[in-house]
Amino acid sequence: MTTGGATRAVHARHRFAFALLGSVQITLIFTLSAIAVPLPHIGREFGLHRADLILLSAAYGLTFAGLLLLGGRLADRYGGRPTLAAGLALFAVASAVAPSAPGIGALITARFAQGAGAALVAPAAMALLRVAFSSPAEYRAAMATWGGLSVVGATAGNLLSGVILSVLSWRWTFAPPLVVAVTALVLTPRLLPPTAPNRGRTLDLPGALLATAGITLVSYGLVVTDIQPWSSAGVLVPLLGGAALSTGFLYAGRHARDPLLPTAFLLDQRRALALTAIALSACATAMTFVVLSLHLQQTRDWSPLQTSAAFAPFAISLIASGRTAGPLIARYGASAVTTAGLGTGAAGLALLASTGLREHTPYAYGLVPGLVLLSAGAAACFAGAAVLAAEGVPPQQTGLAGSVLNSAMELGPTVLFAALLTLGNDAWSLGATGAALALVALLNHHTK
């Protein structure tokens, strides 16, 4: 084979590997967001109370966020490909069980299992991405695209779930995750590079137990603030218990030989700012989906299909911005693109808050401009922040980087949404906008 032919073959393998891993990452977030639109239908079928719906909505995210650090350590210890295969198998089984669930207990259990599988898959996928793209320039370009895949998944979840619900039963919303997981399991040995275990790394099981329990309890405590007051035992007990366990995790990590999350890993200024930017962007997009979906269906009496279609401009702008983010990062730097994305997203939120939530505001100029600005900013922010978060990470900690990156995406909406809900009905837009603008100032200071 000629040198040119060999180069083309390598590039083709890279494209296939990225397509497979990217599809999996999109599906993980699709599965998180696709439950939102069918929730009322599930509630009516099973006769559920609001507390049951809250738990069903949060079940996937609780185990996903809670087990991510352990998933990252498993990927770094045993290799990306075995960890990915194990996670995909668990995710596929849970996705097959969920649509046949006879009651709410079985459905919630399946959602918990889906989240556990996702916690293995997400960091393993990033570890494999590092192996597939060994060149620093290629890896940087791949991460720029990777950063925007999660918001693509969230958008796809909102769009497709409405379409599926209008034609079929809510049970069919579990079909796309099942198909992708099974397909990825079959193609993984053929398209993804083999990975060797790192026998020098320990699992740090005490740290994993403390981190999982702490994150899960804090997340649950924040989720139930939607149905219980902050002063109630149902909120305070998990919040305080989770905070105590998380503190114990940080203390134990300082004395462990090979801690699950080294303190120095989070002290890098660029990484800390990148994770904050990701959390803010994830919060802004998640809140927009929730608030606008409720507004369109409850205030304007739109159908689920119409509501999903209303986010089409968001999806188009997202894809366009994601395609331009990589070249912009290569030319202007990841910090500059992240800063610009945060500012653009904040402008979109402010525009939605000022014009889009009135009952008689026309869709074309009341909602679309804000949606376009928000999605363009979110795509740029995710792309730039993902590059910043992965810079300087040694190969043996790539799984850890993937778990921390996904934790910011998962916990950001949970923490900020719960906090903003306590401030009033309009706090979601004002609070997220103000926080985004504050981080823009920090990033501007960092780049000077």
Give me the chain's average pLDDT, please. 82
pLDDT tens digits, one per residue of 122-164: 999 989 998 888 788 888 888 888 887 877 887 788 778 878 8
Task: Return the structure tokens found at 157.
Answer: 């979840």
Average of pLDDT values for 210-227?
A: 82
Chain-centroid distance of CA 279 in Å reads: 9
pLDDT tens digits, one per residue of 395-433: 888 888 888 888 888 776 666 656 655 554 444 444 444
pLDDT tens digits, one per residue of 381-399: 888 888 888 888 888 888 8
User: Does the structure show a pLDDT above 60 at 218?
Assistant: yes
Report which of 152, 125, 201, 159 is spatially closest to residue 36, judged by C-alpha positions: 159
Q: What is the CATH number of domain 9-190+260-447?
A: 1.20.1250.20
* Percentage with pLDDT > 70 across the chain: 88
User: Does the structure show a pLDDT above 50 at 8?
Assistant: yes
pLDDT score at 81: 92
What whole-number distance in Å separates Cα of residue 319 and Cα of residue 312?
A: 11
What whole-number distance in Å separates Cα of residue 20 and Cα of residue 86?
A: 16
Region of poorest pLDDT, from 8-12, 342-346, 360-364, 414-418: 414-418
pLDDT score at 447: 45
Entry pTM: 0.83
Residue 63 vs residues 55, 102, 359, 415: alpha-carbon distances, Å: 12, 22, 37, 16
Chain-centroid distance of CA 210 in Å reads: 22
In DSSP notation, 318-387 reads HHHHHHHHHHHHHHH-HHHHHHHHHHHHHHHHHHIIIIITSTT--HHHHTHHHHHHHHHHHHHHHHHHHH
Q: Parse the chain into domains and list their residue ranges.
A: 9-190+260-447, 205-259
The residues near 36 (Cβ < 8 Å, ≥ 6 apart) are 57, 157, 158, 161, 289, 290, 293
Average of pLDDT values for 328-338?
A: 89
Report whether 432 contacts 293 (CB < 8 A): no
Residue 7: pLDDT band with limits 50, 70, 90:
low
User: Does the structure show a pLDDT above 50 at 312?
Assistant: yes
What whole-number distance in Å separates Cα of residue 230 and Cα of residue 162?
A: 33
Amino acid at 23: S
Beta-carbon-side half-sphere exposure of residue 383 (alpha carbons within 13 Å): 31
Report which of 321, 320, 292, 284 is spatially closest to residue 308, judged by C-alpha positions: 292
* Percentage with pLDDT > 90 across the chain: 18
Report whether 38 contacts 168 (CB < 8 A): no
User: Does the structure show a pLDDT above 90 at 176?
Assistant: yes
What whole-number distance in Å separates Cα of residue 146 and Cα of residue 322?
A: 9
User: Does the structure show a pLDDT above 50 at 326?
Assistant: yes
User: Does the structure show a pLDDT above 60 at 439?
Assistant: no
Report which of 83, 100, 102, 110 is spatially closest to residue 24, judged by C-alpha positions: 83
In DSSP notation, 224-286 reads GGGTS-TTSHHHHHHHHHHHHHHHHHHHHHHH-SS-SS-HHHHH-HHHHHHHHHHHHHHHHHH
Report which of 86, 71, 408, 64 is spatially closest to residue 260, judged by C-alpha positions: 71
Q: What are phi and psi of 302, to 5 degrees?
A: -80, 150
If one counts every other C-beta atom within 10 angstroms of the C-beta of residue 2, the result is 7
pLDDT tens digits, one per residue of 44-68: 888 878 778 778 888 888 898 889 9
Report whether 157 contacts 31 (CB < 8 A): yes
Across 333-364, b (16+ Cβ under 10 Å) vs e yields ebbbbbbbbbbbbbbbbbbbbeebbeeeeeee
Report which of 24, 14, 110, 8 is spatially closest to residue 402, judged by C-alpha positions: 24
User: Does the structure show a pLDDT above 90 at 446?
Assistant: no
Region of poorest pLDDT, from 154-163, 226-235, 349-358: 349-358
